Chains A and B, each alone.
Chain A
């Protein structure tokens, strides 16, 4: 039994052992990894990067704790970037557990914004963000399809008051914001078919620029919308989140997760290659 056969007929337990070790080590040892970014994520980053101070973006946080691991990092990265650039953000949620997500994100981001940080070589002063001036949170209303359409008409149709029961008209940030016409873009973090509703009703009907952040399993179904131009950007799953964190130079949980994924994949691929090399070489030997 020569080396090539051994390469092919390795005991599976070695595969198990290597995989386990790699996963544990990459989980325990927190080194930073690089991620190759894809066009559809860069689109979102550049879009926000090119906005002017004081522009409005609309974040629809349509997920609940089940999808938290994949979608929370996106929300964090985007909100952080936008607030650093002094953009104004309107939050809304179409998931009945969404308000918890938004409030948690806002608390954490408020804290991190107090610090002076440097992203992509640009230095940002730490500052306090204030509800009603830097951001507004409309809250949750059921029937996403209806809510989205009514937002296109006037935020006040479904949200006469915001999540904290303050009438929208008395919020400085929304004084002269009526509907999507005053919003630069909508970014929707969705776990479920809400994303389709945003495409059909939000973008399709009111032509507001739309970008999606979705869970990994939904990924394949939504890429076609990129080709047809209905969405200008797409982040799918942990991978998409990690790519955005890289672009925003804001290392977070997503890339921690991807570190493990990346090396686990590499291990598997190496084993596959090893087996095939062994296969071909032994075949050549046999021919000799």
Chain B
């Protein structure tokens, strides 16, 4: 086998072990999963904090005020106006105090205002208007009304189905109108369209999800190959690891909990 650094081997093994721990959740919640879960929560939180500090606060704030002097309160810095968000940020920290915590509403309010104001025209353009535009299908582009068969999604028929379907699905979303009579029929059809669409995208996603699992199998396979070089041996090992490894984890867990219960009763 190609010689491998010991530390690399250990890190990979840790990864493989945690992978199996996480898979054990499929059987039931157990100490192995709890371990993996809590470890990843802590580590990822720390990782994220560091990333934000180095790639967020550094360029966005510190570098703006870098050329300022603290005894001028950085007002002489080139990006002095970045004092404002800094102050707002510190206002957030007033939540640590009971009396002052109302101050933190100011930055929150500004945050909300900016977010909401940003969304109004953006979403109106990106979602409503652009979809309207593409719903007004260029009927001159119809090859023929029936196209090359029922499965031809460019035929005029299909385009009309899309159009009707869109409208009736929109009808389903009316809130201030009781679904009765004609309205009921239309919105019912709309609901059918929605359901067919949901089924379609559900079925279409399965493939991608399976390949995610296959990638994990490959990861474990590579790990076994670290130990046993020849492919056959590796795959044999892999088979072991996956099936019996998981069973072993579960068995151990059952025994432990059984022992616990014994202790409790006695």
Asked whether any CB of A lies within 8 Å of a CB of B in the complex, the reply is: yes
Which residue numbers of A lie inside 8 Å of B, CB to CB? 13, 16, 20-21, 23-25, 27-28, 216-217, 220, 223-224, 227-228, 237-239, 257, 260-261, 264-265, 268
Residues of B with C-beta under 8 A to A238: 207, 211
Q: List 25 A-B contacts (CB under 8 A).
A: A20-B246, A21-B243, A23-B214, A24-B243, A27-B217, A27-B218, A27-B221, A27-B235, A28-B236, A28-B238, A28-B239, A216-B207, A220-B204, A223-B153, A224-B154, A227-B143, A227-B148, A227-B153, A227-B155, A238-B207, A257-B214, A261-B210, A264-B210, A265-B210, A268-B206
Cβ-defined contact, A227 with B204, below 8 A: no
Contacts of A261 in B (CB 8 A): 207, 210-211
A257 and B211 contact, Cβ closer than 8 Å, known pairs A13-B26, A21-B243, A224-B154: yes
Report whether B155 and A27 are in contact in the complex, using a CB–CB cutoff of 8 Å: no
Are B143 and A23 within 8 A (Cβ)? no
Main secondary structure of the interface of A (DSSP, over half): helix
Residues of chain B within 8 A of A25, CB atoms compared: 239
B213 touching A23 by the CB < 8 A rule?
yes
Contact (Cβ within 8 A) A23 B210: yes
Q: Does B230 contact A (CB under 8 A)?
A: no
B235 CB to closest chain A CB, in angstroms? 5
Decide: B153 and A265 in contact? CB cutoff 8 A. Answer: no
Tally B residues with Cβ within 8 Å of A.
28
B124 sits at the interface (CB 8 A): no
Q: Which chain A residues lie closer than 8 Å to B29 at the CB level?
A: none
Expressed in whole angstroms, the minimum distance between the Cβ of B101 and any Cβ of chain A is 45
Determine if A24 and B217 form an interchain contact, defined as CB atoms under 8 angstroms apart. Answer: yes
Q: Are B214 and A216 within 8 A (Cβ)?
A: no
Q: Report whether over half of chain B's contact residues are helix, strand or loop; otherwise say mixed.
A: helix
Chain A residues near B154 (CB, 8 Å)?
Answer: 224, 227-228
Do the beta carbons of A224 and B153 come within 8 Å of each other?
Answer: yes
Chain A residues lying within 8 Å of B211, measured Cβ to Cβ, are: 238, 257, 261
B68 at the interface (CB under 8 A from A): no
B147 pairs with A227, CB closer than 8 A: yes
User: Which chain A residues lie closer than 8 Å to B206 at the CB level?
Assistant: 264-265, 268
With A13-B26, A228-B154 as known contacts, state yes or no: A216 contacts B235, CB within 8 Å. Answer: no
A-B contact count (CB 8 A): 61
> Residue-by-residue, is B221-247 near A (CB-CB < 8 Å gives 1, otherwise 0)?
100000000000001101100110010
Considering only CB atoms, which chain B residue lies closest to A258 in the complex?
B207
How long is the Cα–Cα vector from A283 to B174 in the complex, in angstroms? Answer: 36
- Asked if residues A13 and B210 are in contact (CB atoms below 8 Å), the reply is no
CA distance A268 to B206 in the complex (A): 9
**Shortest distance from the beta carbon of A175 to any chain B beta carbon, whole Å:** 41
**Given A13-B26, A24-B238, A24-B242, CB of A217 within 8 Å of CB of B153:** no
Known: A24-B238, A28-B235. A16 touches B26 (CB 8 A): yes
B208 at the interface (CB under 8 A from A): yes
Closest residue of chain B to A264, judged by CB?
B210
Q: Which of B162-214 contact A (CB under 8 A)?
A: 204, 206-208, 210-211, 213-214
* A13→B92 CA distance, assembly (Å): 46
- What is the bound-complex CA distance between A20 and B242, given in angstroms? 9
Given A28-B235, A216-B208, A265-B206, 18 additional A-B pairs, CB 8 A: A20-B242, A20-B246, A23-B210, A24-B217, A24-B242, A27-B214, A27-B217, A216-B207, A227-B148, A227-B152, A238-B207, A238-B211, A257-B211, A260-B210, A264-B206, A265-B207, A265-B210, A268-B206
- B210–chain A nearest beta-carbon distance, Å: 5
Q: Which 8 pairs across A and B sit closest by C-beta, in order of nearness? A: A227-B154, A264-B210, A28-B235, A227-B152, A16-B26, A224-B154, A24-B242, A228-B154
Which residue of A has the minimal Cβ distance to B239?
A28
